[in-house]
């Protein structure tokens, strides 16, 4: 599918489902699903629709995709004989991400619509933040850059205090620069609470689903009351000194989740879900 045809999949899905409301196709790389969900949330807030289907999909596994990421030195070249060990977010020996593929869609609707059809409600979007780094196309600013504002905007809109966030579903790609930048941003936003909040990267288990990534991180911890682990975190990086839930999932009371998505181009999207 070419860049000019990205709306085709969305239009085809809308046609199959008989959807006649607002339709947009979001192309913001690794933040795509978060932006799609956030913009759908806004449309419902604004009264443009009662129900929205939102999410993301990607399968950047062709030789051309892999070549492009390799030229950017974004992919790990280690553990080729043990691919399940290649994705190592927040580990001192991280060297890049592992390409994944997948799709995640969620139904967003207002309270009246959900009640009318007796829907099981898995969570509530409470806040959405979207910013740009204006730094470099492929690198995150070491000080956290625009991710700080995106997180703050989402938390402020939610009406919660930073200390009320129980879990951060990190962007956590396993690239050397991203994990430093995200950790710096979390420390800036959460202050002393950064040492207490649980953080993990599902990408350690799924690889990087690029445009679908935020959807994977959205509801699991809230639904199961279990924080997923960051596997392969074998060698703690002294610069990354927060609780990344290494190796083993951790049961806990999760009432509010912050979902982080940061993309090539410097675009950031964050969601608060309760």
Q: What is the pLDDT of residues 113-152, one digit of tens each?
A: 999 999 999 999 999 999 999 898 888 899 999 999 999 9
What pLDDT band is residue 59 in, cutting at 50, 70 and 90? confident
Q: Which one of the listed residues 171, 193, 235, 270 is annotated catalytic?
A: 171
Q: Which one of the listed residues 193, 208, 235, 270 is annotated catalytic?
A: 208
Q: Indicate whether 5 pLDDT > 70.
A: no
pLDDT at 122: 93
φ, ψ for residue 62, nearest 5 deg: -75, 165
208 noted as active-site residue: yes
Name the burial class of residue 65, with classes exposed (0-12), middle (13-18) and buried (19+) by CB atoms within 10 angstroms of its CB.
Answer: middle
63-88 pLDDT, tens digit per residue, is: 888 888 888 888 898 988 888 999 99
* Domain 3-273 architecture: 3-Layer(aba) Sandwich (3.40)
Report the percent of the chain where pLDDT is more than 70: 98
100-114, 119-133, 207-221, range with the lowest pLDDT? 207-221
- Specify which of 71-80, 98-107, 229-238 reaches the highest per-range mean pLDDT: 229-238
What pLDDT band is residue 258 in, cutting at 50, 70 and 90? very high
pTM score over 0.85: yes
Mean of the per-residue pLDDT values of the chain: 92
Q: Domain boundaries in the chain?
A: 3-273
Residues linked to residue 251 through DSSP beta bridges, in sequence order: 226
Mean pLDDT of 27-35: 92
171 noted as active-site residue: yes
pLDDT at 61: 85
Q: Which one of the listed residues 30, 35, 122, 235 is annotated catalytic?
A: 30
């Amino acid at each position: 599918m070419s860049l000019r045809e990205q709306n085709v999949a969305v239009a085809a899905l809308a046609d199959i489902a008989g959807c006649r409301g607002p339709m947009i196709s979001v192309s913001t790389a690794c933040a795509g699903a978060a932006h799609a969900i956030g913009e759908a949330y806004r449309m419902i807030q604004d009264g443009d629709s009662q129900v929205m289907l939102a999410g993301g999909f990607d399968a950047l596994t062709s030789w051309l995709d892999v070549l492009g990421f390799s030229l950017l030195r974004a992919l790990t070249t280690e553990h080729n004989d043990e691919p399940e060990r290649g994705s190592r977010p927040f580990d001192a020996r991280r060297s890049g991400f592992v390409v994944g593929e997948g799709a995640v869609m969620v139904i967003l609707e207002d309270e009246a619509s959900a009640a009318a059809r007796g829907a099981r409600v898995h969570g509530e979007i409470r806040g959405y933040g979207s910013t740009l780094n204006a730094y470099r196309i492929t690198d995150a600013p070491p000080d956290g850059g625009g991710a700080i504002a995106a997180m703050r905007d989402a938390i402020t809109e939610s009406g919660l205090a930073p200390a009320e966030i129980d879990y951060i579903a990190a962007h956590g790609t396993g690239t050397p620069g991203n994990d430093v930048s995200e950790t710096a941003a979390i420390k800036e936003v959460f202050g002393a609470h950064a040492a207490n909040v649980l953080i993990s990267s599902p990408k350690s288990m799924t690889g990087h689903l690029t445009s679908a990534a935020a959807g994977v991180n959205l509801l699991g911890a809230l639904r199961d009351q279990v924080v997923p682990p960051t596997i392969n975190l074998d060698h703690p990086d002294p610069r990354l000194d927060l609780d990344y839930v290494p190796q083993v999932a951790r049961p806990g009371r999760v009432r509010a989740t912050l979902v982080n998505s940061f993309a090539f181009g410097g675009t950031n999207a964050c969601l608060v879900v309760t």
